[in-house]
Structure 1
Amino acid sequence: MVARSRERGATVVELALLMPVILAVVLLIVQVALWFHGRQVAEAAAREGARVARSAPAGGGWEEAATAKARDVVGAIGPRLLTAARATTSTKEPDERWVTVTGSAVQVIPLLPELSFTITATSGGPVECFRPDDGGDDCDEG
């Protein structure tokens, strides 16, 4: 009976020592899940913006349409998952158009550096050129 009385409260002390570690692991799992989902949102927005950019006719105006589409996708899917999201356009070749979406994932753990949660997704490819069935070339190289 004497041995049992010396161990009273040991479970409470063990739990008090383990709970911060368990809580940190759970928060880290949630943080990784939010980062992963934010990355999926950024990739979807870049893909849809690039789809608009690649199918737009030659000339000006495709940049605004592509960035607007990317912002709309971020706003529809996860405006709180990808904060401070911005979309930019670029051309790598005369016939390639690209859209890049950059933002920050939601930060659950306040002690981690914010730069580690920056998400960047780029999508694009060659401009789609639709030619009529009569064999004529209706594509503009502008």
Structure 2
Amino acid sequence: MKFHTRKWVKPEDLNPNGTLFGGRLLQWIDEEVALYAIIQLEIPRTVTKFMSEIDFVSSARQGDIIEIGIDVVKFGRTSITLGCKVRNKLTRKDIITIDKIIMVSLDDEGNPVPHGKTKIEYVKDRLEKK
């Protein structure tokens, strides 16, 4: 799994227990997988359709640094399915694993649209093709 992003846990990210608020973490995850899917599929109108079970196994505290990792599980005709793992960089503990996040590409009317992708592409490879 490639870890694409790091986030620093700040006071505004905490719940009343003094640990990372789960809603904030899910916001970060949703944003990261959306960016990843949009870049992979090259369709800016790509949205979250589904997230599998969410099970918080540990947390983070103020000042901790977390990492968000994303893997492609499969390409569909109009979708991309991703896996995600978040870990605490300082304690080295996993925080959450989401096995399946489905992102769907949409046309201007909000209908699913085929993206034509079948494998991971890297920006550097796209630039070399031009």
Same fold, judged at TM 0.5 (above): no
Structure-2-length-normalised TM-score: 0.36
Bigger helix share: 1
Bigger strand share: 2
Structure-1-length-normalised TM-score: 0.34
Larger Rg: 1
